[in-house]
């Protein structure tokens, strides 16, 4: 199995918007192409930001690469994402003002 964590630091006033975007746009497309969501959580940092992260499971790293390629080449999905950015002021505006950090990390098990 291969696991990854997608992590965001988001300003508090954008949390509802990004969670709606995840549930309506990103989650359905990931599931459509074979990704499996373990869970998605958020934590109030107490400084007007939240950590939001999801853990995803794949059969292998190669499967992850294939699924991500399919997600990124799904043109109706790509257009929905572009439309969402534009509706909220544009990608640069969102990344400058609302989403302060984004990380995509492989996770390694410590269980033998």
Q: How far is residue 99's CA from residue 47's CA, in Å, rounded to a whole number?
A: 14
Q: How far is CA 91 from the centre of its chain?
A: 15
**Pairing status of strand 99-107 against strand 2-11:** antiparallel
Degrees, nearest 5: CA angle 2-38-1: 20
Phi, psi of 72 (to 5 degrees): -75, -20
What domains are defined for the chain? 2-107 (3.30.70.100)
Per-residue pLDDT band for 112 (boundaries 50, 70, 90) equals: confident
User: The whole model's pTM is what?
Assistant: 0.89
Q: How far apart are CA 77 and CA 25, in angstroms?
A: 7
Question: What digits encode the pLDDT tens for the residues 4-40?
Answer: 999 999 999 999 999 999 999 999 999 999 999 999 9
């Amino acid at each position: 199995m291969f696991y990854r964590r997608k992590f965001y630091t988001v300003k508090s006033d954008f949390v509802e918007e990004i969670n709606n975007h995840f549930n309506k746009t990103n989650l359905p497309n990931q599931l459509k192409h074979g990704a499996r969501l373990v869970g998605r959580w958020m934590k109030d940092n107490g400084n007007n930001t939240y950590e939001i992260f999801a853990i995803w499971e794949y059969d292998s790293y190669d499967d992850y690469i294939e699924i991500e390629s399919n997600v990124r080449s799904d043109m109706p999905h790509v257009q929905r994402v572009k439309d969402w950015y534009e509706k909220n002021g544009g990608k640069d505006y969102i990344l400058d003002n609302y989403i302060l950090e984004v990380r995509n990390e492989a996770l390694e098990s410590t269980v033998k």
